[in-house]
Amino acid sequence: MHCAPLPYGTRCTPTRTPASRSGSTTPPSFTSRHVTTLAPDIREGLLELFDEEDLPTNTYYGDGGRIPEDVMDHLRSCYRAATVRFDWRRDDLWWSTT
């Protein structure tokens, strides 16, 4: 990743962030801002303005390597498979220990 001037006089600011956790007993989670999570028309518009490595937000491996789209698709399918959904009903309470 480089920090050369970008279109419209902007600059990139690469950051490395750790996985996040919602409490001390929960495992770290991965939140992606990978280019493939954008709606196709938004992704295409941004890629007309920027090279992929210069996008305003994107996700890479810890060593800076590109994460292939098929890997992101696999991660998303794993998240969907592990997702639990239930309908919120009147008088339900939310209890959190964090």
Tens of pLDDT, residues 32-86: 678 888 889 998 998 998 888 778 778 888 788 888 989 989 988 998 898 888 8
29 bridge partner residues = 20
Placement of tokens 């279109």 in the chain:
7
Residue 74: which domain range?
7-11+29-82
CA distances in angstroms from 44 to 11, 17, 39, 83, 85, listed in the order given: 20, 26, 9, 29, 31
Placement of tokens 């810890």 in the chain:
62
Does the pLDDT value for residue 28 go beyond 90?
Answer: no
60 bridge partner residues = 66
Predicted structure pTM score: 0.57
| pLDDT score at 88 | 84
Domain assignment present for residue 94? The answer is: no
What is the DSSP-derived secondary structure letter of residue 12?
-
Domain assignment present for residue 57? The answer is: yes
Tokens of 66: 């590109």
Q: Domain tally for the chain?
A: 1
Query: Of residues 23 and 61, which shows the higher confidence score?
Result: 61
How sure is the predictor about 13, in pLDDT bands with cuts at 50, 70 and 90?
A: low
d(CA 4, CA 37): 25
Domain assignment present for residue 47? The answer is: yes
